Chain A
């Protein structure tokens, strides 16, 4: 019978399938994609002029931590969703929780600010550009992530694509923080989040198209 021949062929000369291939694959993309995003920030957008000073203040680190935690949520979700039957719940909950914390902190900051100064605090100087740049920086990482994902076996394709977008957006936003001179939490909570959400949405839309496997 054909199927039995197939089974014979598949089990002859079986190569070991060591654990950790999935996480190694995704971390590989994170490192390469992170370097690409970093290179784009340095040579295309330019590092913020006051980077050295900013490193002594908290805001640069808050921005970096927020973006990196979103990326971590994406990574955790992706590591599960790359596998059949994986749900990625932990990662999604982490990203959701961290987003809520930032939204609450941003709202508090706005409320503590004089009404006349709120708009400037919220919009900063780059509210329009910020989400677009984050999305652009995320694109190569998203492409690499989706490509890697095709080697695995996601069965929830839109979810897996969305997790890839969240992951790529988080890594991109972390790198973008080296360019962006904005200093308010309200700005971070709105425009960084929007950039990462755009990337997440794009990934979720592409997932069912690009992640099909046979």
Chain B
């Protein structure tokens, strides 16, 4: 669990608001990882390839509208509200009416999902059906929140190859589990 994520990001954000580019770079990098996980989980199989575009759009919005962050409020809630808004906007632009749940206490952009034993077993069974490299990629990118480049590097793959492989793995998983709207 990232118990210290709020104070850490808030401190970075304060520095960024004062014009510190290094701090801002760190904020955006953390957000990049979180947003990638958040959007990929919610976009579903048909749109998962658009997650990166949505992440970039959201980072841009966070950047352009950073003056709306109020230092008396939690940074994580601010960023989550933008991510959720962008997700709703994404569905709206595609003409899909879809309810995006407002996760009140568990701000899902920030909570690391620590699968319970039972879920872990299911997950192991599901991922176990994949080729080893694909399994490692899915675990790295989708569960641990690594970037594609980082996960690829672990396996000695280029980022491009990792992207293709991850895409295939997700497709295979989706085919197994079947379509699921959330």
Interface of A toward B, CB cutoff 8 Å: 1-4, 6-8, 10-19, 21-22, 82-85, 152-153, 155, 212-214
Bound: A213/B28 CA distance, A: 20
**Shortest Cβ distance from B52 into A: residue:** A3
Separation of A18 and B71 alpha carbons in the complex (Å): 11
Secondary structure at the B interface, as helix, strand, loop or mixed, is helix
Residues in chain A near residue B180, CB distance under 8 A = none
Q: Are A84 and B59 in contact (CB under 8 A)?
A: no
- Looking across the interface, which residue of chain A has its beta carbon closest to that of B83? A84
| Residue numbers in A under 8 Å from B20 (CB-CB) | 14
B68 touches A22 (CB 8 A): yes
Contact for A10 among B28, B69, B148, B149, CB less than 8 A: B28
Residue B80 lies at the interface, judged by CB distance under 8 Å to chain A: yes
Contacts of A18 in B (CB 8 A): 17, 67
- Of all chain B residues, the one with the shortest Cβ separation from A83 is B68
B81 part of interface (Cβ distance < 8 Å): yes
Interface residues on B, range: 35 or more
List B residues 4-49 near A (Cβ within 8 Å). Answer: 16-22, 24-25, 28-29, 32
How far does the Cβ of B49 sit from chain A's closest Cβ, in whole Å? 13
Q: Is B78 interfacial (CB 8 A cutoff)? A: yes
Central interface residue in B16, B68, B70, by most chain A CB within 10 Å: B68
A10 close to B24 (CB less than 8 A): yes
Residues of A within 8 A of B57 (CB): 214
Residues of A within 8 A of B18 (CB): 16
Q: Which residue of A lies closest to B77 (CB)?
A: A85
Given known contacts A19-B17, A22-B70, A83-B69, what 19 new A-B pairs fall within 8 Å (CB)? A3-B52, A3-B55, A3-B59, A6-B56, A7-B32, A8-B25, A10-B60, A10-B63, A14-B16, A14-B21, A14-B24, A16-B18, A22-B67, A84-B78, A85-B78, A85-B80, A85-B81, A153-B65, A153-B82
The answer to whether A212 and B89 have CB atoms under 8 Å apart is yes
Provide 25 A-B residue pairs closer than 8 Å at the C-beta atoms, listed in order of the A residue.
Answer: A2-B52, A4-B32, A4-B147, A4-B149, A7-B28, A8-B25, A10-B59, A10-B60, A11-B21, A12-B21, A15-B19, A16-B18, A19-B17, A19-B71, A22-B67, A82-B68, A83-B69, A84-B65, A84-B79, A85-B77, A85-B78, A152-B68, A153-B61, A153-B65, A155-B84
Collect the chain B residues with CB atoms within 8 Å of residue A8's CB: 25
Rounded to whole Å, the gap between the CB of B127 and the closest CB of chain A is: 24
Contact yes or no, B68 A153, CB < 8 A: yes
A1, A22, A152, most chain B CB atoms within 10 A = A1
Contact with A84, one of B17, B56, B82, B148 (Cβ below 8 angstroms): B82
Contact status A155-B25, CB under 8 Å = no
Q: Is B171 an interface position by the 8 A CB rule?
A: no
**A3, A17, A22, A155: the one within 8 Å of B32 (CB):** A3
Contact B78 A214 (CB under 8 A): no
